[in-house]
Amino acid sequence: MRERNWTLPLAGVLIVALVLGIMIGPYPLSARQILQELLGQGGGTGATVFWNIRLPRVLAAALVGAALAAAGATYQSAFRNPLVSPDILGVSAGAGLGAVLGIYLGLPVLAIQLLGFGTGLVTVALVVTLSLMIGGSVLVMVLCGIALGALAGAGISLIKLMADPDNQLPAITFWLMGSLAGVKRGDLMAAAPAILLGLLPLALLRWRIGLLSLGDDEARSLGVEVGRLRMLAVAGATLVTAAAVSMAGVIGWVGLMVPHMIRLLTGPRFDRLLPAAALAGAAFMVLVDACARTMARQEIPLGILTATLGAPVFIALLARGARQWRQ
């Protein structure tokens, strides 16, 4: 099964998901209407919904899903631990702090996103710098990430406490639960370059990043500059995560769960895992987001859906892992 090339089948799944995503939504668009729009023969409200709302949202979902899954796979390999997620170094908490601060200060939406993006990157940079000053082992880095993540969480709580409970507090709460409901073309244009830029080194280094999972001594003995490679991998994964989180809010579990499931298909080889996980993450997020806008009469935050799906999967994986560890 592992020898099979999963990239093409998963690309097919993504295309199906994209088509479904474009069809599904509270504003009814028929297949014929969509076809007319694509051929440039549409118009009216249908055109607004299709070009300005549905299409950017579906593409944003695909981009965010691909970003989170690729980043999760990268962190798991770079830190030799299948149970880490993209926010292990505090990028989500950091981005959350920036965005929440932006909401508190009443900044425009794009500024909120940029602030979140910036603070996410700064948080990880601080974590890496601190851990290098302390001693530089992977464990120190992860523990620094947990500590700074908690600090950022405290900052978020403080801002929530100070925020206007009628207007700002709900906005903050919704943001922290993750949603693509308000994504516009401009948001997509702002986030896409950062995500693609971050994915580029991961794609180029996809063979070498896999070697990091062997451990530092072994990887070095195979000819890998471990320190530099890990930093590049972490930088790329952090960039895509920060961009995804600043656009869509905090969406947990995808980065942990999707690489795990895909590893069952492709095996752990990172050069096969990365493209497959990115495609599957994209398809998954497009479908979850379609559920988010149609399951109830109101929008359901994505974080709620991904956690509801992710937690049982995680426990199943733990049980599987525990059986292996006992042997």
Contact 199, 63 (CB under 8 A): no
Q: Does 230 bind another protein (CB under 8 A)?
A: no
Q: Which stretch binds another protein (CB under 8 A): 76-84, 238-246, 277-285, 305-313?
A: 76-84
Interhelix angle 254-266/302-326, nearest 10 degrees: 50
Interaction with another protein in 254-283: which residues (CB under 8 A)?
263, 267-269, 271
Q: Tell the smallest beta-carbon distance from residue 46 to another protein (Å).
A: 8
Q: Which part of the chain contacts another protein (CB under 8 A), choosing from 11-19, 51-59, 61-69, 236-244?
A: 51-59
DSSP calls for 222-266: TT--HHHHHHHHHHHHHHHHHHHHHHH----SHHHHHHHHHHHHH
Compute the distance between CA of residue 227 and CA of residue 232 in angstroms, rounded to an integer: 9
153 binds another protein (CB under 8 A): no
Q: Report d(CA 293, CA 49) in Å as an integer.
A: 14
Q: Are 292 and 305 in contact (CB under 8 A)?
A: yes
Distance CA 195, CA 318 (A): 30
For residue 163, the minimal CB distance to another protein (Å) is: 9
Decide: is 80 part of the binding site for another protein (CB under 8 A). Answer: yes
240 contacts 198 by C-beta, under 8 angstroms? yes
- Based on the shown chain and the rule CB under 8 A, indicate whether residue 326 belongs to the binding site for another protein: no
Q: In angstroms, what is the minimal distance from the CB of 126 to another protein? A: 26
Q: Is 81 in the site for another protein (CB under 8 A)?
A: yes
Q: Between 91 and 130, how does the x/- string for binding to another protein read (CB under 8 A)?
A: ---------------x-xx---------------------
Please give the residues from 5 up to 44 whose contact with another protein meets the rule CB under 8 A. Answer: 25-28, 44
Q: Which residue reads 């639960």 in tokens?
A: 177
- Taking the least distance from each CB to another protein, the nearer of 121 and 159 is 159
Q: Which of 309, 100, 68, 76 is nearest to 191 (CA)?
A: 68
| Residue 178 burial (CB count, 10 A) | 25
For the chain, how big is the Rg over CA atoms in Å?
A: 20
DSSP 85: -
* Options 114, 184, 192, 265; binder of another protein; rule CB under 8 A: 184
Among 98, 155, 208, 253, binds another protein (CB under 8 A): 208
> Contact residues for another protein (CB under 8 A)?
2, 25-28, 44-45, 47-49, 52-54, 57, 76, 80-82, 106, 108-109, 160-161, 164-167, 169-171, 174, 179, 181-182, 184-185, 204-208, 210-211, 213-215, 217-218, 220-225, 263, 267-269, 271, 293, 296-299, 301, 324, 327
